Homo-oligomer: A and B are copies of this chain.
Amino acid sequence: MIDVAVFGAGRIGKIHAGNLVLQVGANLKYVSDVNMQAAQELAAQHGAQVADIDRALADSSVGAVLIASSTDTHADLILRAAAAGKAIFCEKPVDLTLERAKACAQAVKAAGVTCMIGFQRRFDPTFAALKERLAAGEIGDPEMLVVTSRDPGAPPVSYIKSSGGIFKDMLIHDFDIFRWILEDEAVSISATGSCLTDPAIAEAGDIDCAAVTIRSRCGRLCQINTSRRAAYGYDQRFEVLGSKGMLQAGNHKPTEVTASTGSSVSHDLPEHFFLERYRAAYAREIAHFFDAVVNKVAVRTTIEDGVKALELAEAATLSWRENRTIELAK
């Protein structure tokens, strides 16, 4: 039995906790949150204790921590957990600054602890199946990747202000998809964007839609289009053109009902947002993390992956701000 502490009892913390307790051999021992009521409710639901972070990290029975608190706490918690020798699962992003993210990666490496970053999309059944089929050579060598990544609606401007901007907040996942799917690194990135849905987003110094183009070392091309607002829901698609064909990952729907009326033949909208769309992915990533901890094997989404995605997000932000293509160091 491995005792686990969860830091953060909000929306995503609850999901991770719920998935953790399904793992054979896992015991959710502590829940920490600055919101004491949230911590108590989550602890009560799973028979865990509320504890502050110091206590949880000081308990030598705790083998792993799940960091699901706000982004600005990630780096500090990673450093402290690494120092305490705990296996770490941390939500993306590692940090909003590349410097601190790299420092975390170094600390993790020095401590020799397991550290997994929550790029849950790699564990989505559709995306993972696509990746497997690509790796099996079904469409030959990948040449082009087109990613569509749109949210159903923008978050409050207050959130946007502290989000790090659209590239670090939303596209960090898509930058990871680029690296994961093509198994290649970027040599240049070019980004542009607009604010078309709400002037307050522009006033906050951000944009609400963006178009990004990445060239890889092997000359592969990747285009990412994104928007904070898709009236029809959460749009999460990508397609890979290869030398022998194409693989496409489509949206998931709640049901397979088709309605034919006098006006149209219609289907369900896509799953509304990430909690619905990536329900299975969240379960699988925690299972993978816990399995890696138990069996002492490597995790599939490392803190280095987190750093690399953040590098791309920073470069994209710079490209957008300075209206030029950014060359990336090889």
Residues of A within 8 A of B (CB): 125-126, 129-130, 133, 138-141, 143-144, 146, 148, 150, 188, 190, 192-197, 209-211, 213, 215, 219-223, 225, 227, 229-233, 235, 241-252, 254-270, 323-325
A258 to B222, CA, bound (A): 19
For the complex with contacts A144-B211, A194-B215, 17 further pairs of A-B residues with Cβ separation under 8 Å are A140-B231, A143-B194, A143-B196, A143-B227, A146-B146, A146-B148, A192-B213, A193-B221, A195-B219, A196-B219, A223-B223, A223-B225, A248-B258, A251-B256, A264-B268, A265-B267, A266-B267
- Contact at B264–A264, with CB atoms within 8 Å? yes
- Contact at B144–A227, with CB atoms within 8 Å? yes
Greatest chain B CB density within 10 A among A235, A241, A269 is at A241
Given contacts A211-B221, A241-B150, A243-B229, contact A249 B257 (CB under 8 A): yes
Closest Cβ neighbor of A208 among chain B residues: B143
Q: Which residues of B contact A255 (CB under 8 A)?
A: 125-126, 129-130
Q: Which residues of B contact A227 (CB under 8 A)?
A: 143-144, 241
Q: Which residues of B contact A221 (CB under 8 A)?
A: 192-194, 209-211, 225
- Contact at B269–A266, with CB atoms within 8 Å? no
A272 to B329, CA, bound (A): 41
- Contact at A259–B245, with CB atoms within 8 Å? yes
Q: Which residues of B contact A129 (CB under 8 A)?
A: 254-255, 257
Given contacts A143-B227, A209-B221, A211-B223, contact A260 B243 (CB under 8 A): no
Could you list some 30 contacts between A and B, CB below 8 A? Answer: A125-B254, A126-B257, A138-B261, A143-B196, A143-B197, A150-B241, A188-B192, A190-B190, A192-B215, A192-B221, A193-B221, A194-B220, A211-B221, A211-B222, A213-B213, A223-B225, A229-B243, A230-B241, A231-B242, A231-B260, A231-B261, A232-B265, A245-B259, A245-B261, A250-B256, A263-B269, A264-B269, A265-B268, A265-B270, A325-B325
Q: Which residues of B contact A258 (CB under 8 A)?
A: 247-248, 250
In-complex Cβ contact of A245 among B249, B262, B323 (8 A): B262
Q: Which residues of B contact A215 (CB under 8 A)?
A: 192, 194
Q: Which residues of B contact A220 (CB under 8 A)?
A: 194, 196
Closest Cβ neighbor of A267 among chain B residues: B265
A262 to B150, CA, bound (A): 14
Q: Which residues of B contact A196 (CB under 8 A)?
A: 141, 143, 219-220, 243
Given contacts A190-B325, A221-B209, A264-B269, contact A139 B250 (CB under 8 A): no
